């Protein structure tokens, strides 16, 4: 059970070092009922924290929730020895300090009752309504007796699906995990490590994506201490040795206050110490740390415009470090975060990082979606918050969560879901790409055209043959960047499918799961070429005709070089070879420079009259059915004869065709190359450049 409840007779488990505030909470919880006109002492401080954010909140429902939770958990104790009610109280206090609204706090007080006591979900629903019951059910674990080893991944699946309908479910879970991590010392080391790893791989990325930085940073430090004790101790000792390092930032902060006061800008300037993991990362990046590296300055103002006014004053009165400037106000991060980031150099050379934001931005930066209050309240009657599809626009339903809810439906196997979830959450950040019709796709950082195709078209993307990125043809493995315009190209033949190498480019679980399912259901098709299914052709239909290139020396044999296949009216030059013949190259052929570097003398060559010519062309294309047939038809229509043709096996969904062609007149070559480029799927046609043979 997640609740860590124990039988009161198991006195041997009541050990550890409980936190002082929890002992006080425990004593208050055991004092019994209080007068009807006041809250129980145990949640008085929760009420104070709640009223600080919501002055008009009705606390009666909190009283009823506390009394029900206390009576339900009465007689249960945590492994640390405290009365169990101290846990839901601590979780509720965390959320109250972040500014959670009353419904969230009510559910937080009751979040373990259905899981660990005789209280039923129907009783919670009858007493507190459907909303509270939904939140309690969302964070209630599935029983191991029913799910076995799949209980943990399936519990997270259930929780994430519930979060898709009400993000407050995950807010309660994050606060619950934070308090459990704070009191993890009573667990066996191996269990501590297991819980810390799940926290690192799943809960911390979720806290980052929901923007709850206050919870994320403390969770990071707690995980750091458990999984990397040596590095943690070194970092702790480093911070202890530099206990007075903050003085350097205080000096810079005083200078900033003076500058802003002189400019008439009302601002609050604070020194924010870095947490342990942040100090550790900075020390790895910069080596020896200076005093200003142990914290950052936070400048809080009233309006968005004031943020840029502060930035202008700082960059005018201090020396800015331009490489450190980032504008997350004009372009907010995917987790609602907004701030201006910059760094300035003090007169003594010390560099101080500065965060500039409004008070509201700061609230959202610390509490994320918790700071949004109740996003599920009734929409305005004018429908101003209604999305195009008829659903309310919900700022707590970002792209990553929508993607997660979509792909989890295709991962019925718990192991696949658990592995895909960790991989998805490990993606760093999120990008937005545009579609030609003006729509957008939200994708994780590092996503490719493969991911965009499956995000836009679902399983229909099995027929994808390539993409256009910013108007240019690109391979499916092309990595997309924020702001790119992408257009996946689908083949007309819906029966085609992906090749195994697509998995190397897929970054989203949506794409990986869809590709893996297709490959598993088409084991033979997966090995077939993605282009025309016919094997590579190598057909020679005749000997090369006499070239119409001539040299001034009579009775001298002339042959065209196979490395560059010159044709009229190419600028050409020749070199004498053994046997008295002259080999003709295009002037820009690399072999010409090599010959000249070897001291070989060029021979003047010119074209005489119109005559049939032979040329080798290379067509680069995306693989698709009937591609070879369409290309050969285009060549025949242009009046060229195919002397030989080869089709290389597909690589990364690209196919390379090499044709040696005979034209009745070289002047038709440009039109022939245009006709080949116009074949769907072909993105380039060029003259061949083969390595020259020894001459």
Mind telling me the catalytic residues?
Answer: 115-116
- Nearest to 689, CA basis, from 578, 605, 564: 564
Give dist(CA 414, CA 281) in Å, integer: 34
Burial 578-614 (b: 16+ CB within 10 A, else e): eeebbbbbbeebebbeebeeeeeeebebebeeeeebb
The upper half-sphere exposure of residue 70, i.e. CA atoms within 13 Å in the direction of its Cβ, equals 22
- Nearest to 483, CA basis, from 434, 439, 429: 434
* 3-state secondary structure (DSSP) of residue 313: helix
Give dist(CA 388, CA 385) in Å, integer: 10
Strand partners, 268: 300
146 C-beta neighbours (distance < 10 Å), count: 9
Give dist(CA 364, CA 362) in Å, integer: 5
- Nearest to 83, CA basis, from 171, 167, 14, 129: 14
Q: What is the DSSP letter of 378?
A: P
Largest CA distance in the chain: 122
Give dist(CA 559, CA 5) in Å, integer: 91
Radius of gyration over every alpha carbon of the chain, rounded to an integer in angstroms: 35
The two three-digit tokens of residue 681, written as one number? 């799927």
Q: What is the DSSP letter of 199?
A: I
Is there a contact between 95 and 171 (Cβ–Cβ < 8 Å)? yes
């Amino acid at each position: 059970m997640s609740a860590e409840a124990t039988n009161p007779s198991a006195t041997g488990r009541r050990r550890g070092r409980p936190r002082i505030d929890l002992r006080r909470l425990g004593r208050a919880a055991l004092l019994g009922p209080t007068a009807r006109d006041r809250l129980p002492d145990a949640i008085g401080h929760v009420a104070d924290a709640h009223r600080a954010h919501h002055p008009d909140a009705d606390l009666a429902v909190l009283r009823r929730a506390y009394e029900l939770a206390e009576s339900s958990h009465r007689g249960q104790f945590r492994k640390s020895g405290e009365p169990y009610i101290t846990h839901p109280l601590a979780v509720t206090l965390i959320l109250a300090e972040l500014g959670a609204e009353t419904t969230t706090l009510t559910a937080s007080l009751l979040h373990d009752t259905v899981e660990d006591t005789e209280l039923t979900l129907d009783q919670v629903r009858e007493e507190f309504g459907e909303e509270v019951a939904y939140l309690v059910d969302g964070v209630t674990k599935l029983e191991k007796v029913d799910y076995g080893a799949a209980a943990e991944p399936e519990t997270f699946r259930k929780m994430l699906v519930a979060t898709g309908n009400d993000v407050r479910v995950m807010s309660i879970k994050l606060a619950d995990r934070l308090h459990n991590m704070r009191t993890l010392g009573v667990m066996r080391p191996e269990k501590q490590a297991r819980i810390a790893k799940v926290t690192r791989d799943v809960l911390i990325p979720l806290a980052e994506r929901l923007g709850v930085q206050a919870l994320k940073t403390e969770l990071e430090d707690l995980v750091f201490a458990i999984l990397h004790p040596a590095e943690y101790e070194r970092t702790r000792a480093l911070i202890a040795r530099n206990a007075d390092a903050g003085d350097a930032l205080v000096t810079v902060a005083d200078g900033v206050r003076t500058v802003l006061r002189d400019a008439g800008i009302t601002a609050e300037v604070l020194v924010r110490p870095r947490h342990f993991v942040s100090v550790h990362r900075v020390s790895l990046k910069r080596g020896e740390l200076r005093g200003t590296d142990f914290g950052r300055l936070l400048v809080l103002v009233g309006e968005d415009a004031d943020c840029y006014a502060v930035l202008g004053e700082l960059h005018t009165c201090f020396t800015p470090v331009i490489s450190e400037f980032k504008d997350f106000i004009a372009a907010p991060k995917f987790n609602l975060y907004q701030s201006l980031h910059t760094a300035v150099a003090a007169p003594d050379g010390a560099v101080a990082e500065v965060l500039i934001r409004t008070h509201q931005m700061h609230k959202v930066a610390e509490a994320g979606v918790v700071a949004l209050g109740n996003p599920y309240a009734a929409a305005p009657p004018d429908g101003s918050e209604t999305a195009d599809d008829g659903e309310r626009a919900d700022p707590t339903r970002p792209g990553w969560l929508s993607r997660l809810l979509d792909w989890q439906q295709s991962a019925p196997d718990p192991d696949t879901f658990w592995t895909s979830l960790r991989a998805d959450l490990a993606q760093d950040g999120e990008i937005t790409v545009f579609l030609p019709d003006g729509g957008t796709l939200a994708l994780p950082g590092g996503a490719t055209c493969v991911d965009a195709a499956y995000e836009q078209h679902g399983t229909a993307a099995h027929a994808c043959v390539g993409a256009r990125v910013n108007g240019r043809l690109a391979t499916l493995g092309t990595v997309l960047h924020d702001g790119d315009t992408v257009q996946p190209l689908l083949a007309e033949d819906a029966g085609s499918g992906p090749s195994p190498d697509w998995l190397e480019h897929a970054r989203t679980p949506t794409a990986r799961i869809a590709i893996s399912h297709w490959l598993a259901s088409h084991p033979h098709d997966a090995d077939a070429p993605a282009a025309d299914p016919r094997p590579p052709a190598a057909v020679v239909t005749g000997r090369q005709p006499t070239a119409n290139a001539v040299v001034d020396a009579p009775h001298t044999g002339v042959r065209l070089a196979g490395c560059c296949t010159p044709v009229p009216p190419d600028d050409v030059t020749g070199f004498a070879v053994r046997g008295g013949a002259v080999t003709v190259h295009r002037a820009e052929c690399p072999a010409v420079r090599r010959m000249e570097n070897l001291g070989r003398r060029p021979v003047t060559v010119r074209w005489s009259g119109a005559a049939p010519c032979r040329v080798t062309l290379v067509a680069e294309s995306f693989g698709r059915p009937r591609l070879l047939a369409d290309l050969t038809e285009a060549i025949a229509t242009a009046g060229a004869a195919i002397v030989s043709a080869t089709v290389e096996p597909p690589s990364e969904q690209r196919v390379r065709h090499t044709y040696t062609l005979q034209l009745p007149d070289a002047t038709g070559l440009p039109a022939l190359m245009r006709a080949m480029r116009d074949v769907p799927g072909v993105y380039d046609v060029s003259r061949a450049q083969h390595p020259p043979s020894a001459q």
